[in-house]
Amino acid sequence: MRIAFLTAPEGVEQVELTDPWQAAVDAGHKPVLVSTQSGEVQAFHHLDKADTFPVHEVVGETSADSYGGLVLPGGVANPDFLRMDDTAVAFVRDFFEQGRPVAAICHAPWTLVEADVVRGRVLTSWPSLRTDIRNAGGTWIDEQVTVCDHGPNKLVTSRKPDDLKAFCETYPDVFAGEAG
């Protein structure tokens, strides 16, 4: 299955991109780096610049129906940039409307809030998003990884880089189950 990894051109937390990417590869999926601009994305190790990664597809030139699922890596700046881009927000919303699985870690649920897709769902995130999620109609819980099947698709969320092992063990299986 092709899995879109949506990031802004700058600000993605590198480990929240690379570990889930490898988990997709290990599960036999084909990860595709999608961004709001062509070229490369600049990853970070918290506040320090890290590696760059080539963009495979531009969000405005592809669609949710080209993928079996969507992964939203975190980083503080990454989802903040994405939620200000109408095309990126519409891309995320389309996964929910089409019933395709979505996984988000750390600050990434900010983009979900902007896409207005958390209402009635149970999810986790970096703790500072708790009020945003509740104000958007979601239920925030403090767990390593959460799988919510409220609505037409499954949503896998996780809190932080320390939870990556649980996140990476969970989301590929959920995605594979949704494809079957």
How far apart CA 107 and CA 129 sit, in angstroms, is 7
Q: Which of 105, 106, 118, 133 is catalytic?
A: 106
137 close to 148: Cβ distance less than 8 angstroms = no
How far apart CA 43 and CA 153 sit, in angstroms, is 29
Q: Does residue 148 have an active-site annotation?
A: no
The span from the first CA to the last CA of the chain, in angstroms, equals 11
16 close to 74: Cβ distance less than 8 angstroms = yes
Active site residue ranges: 106
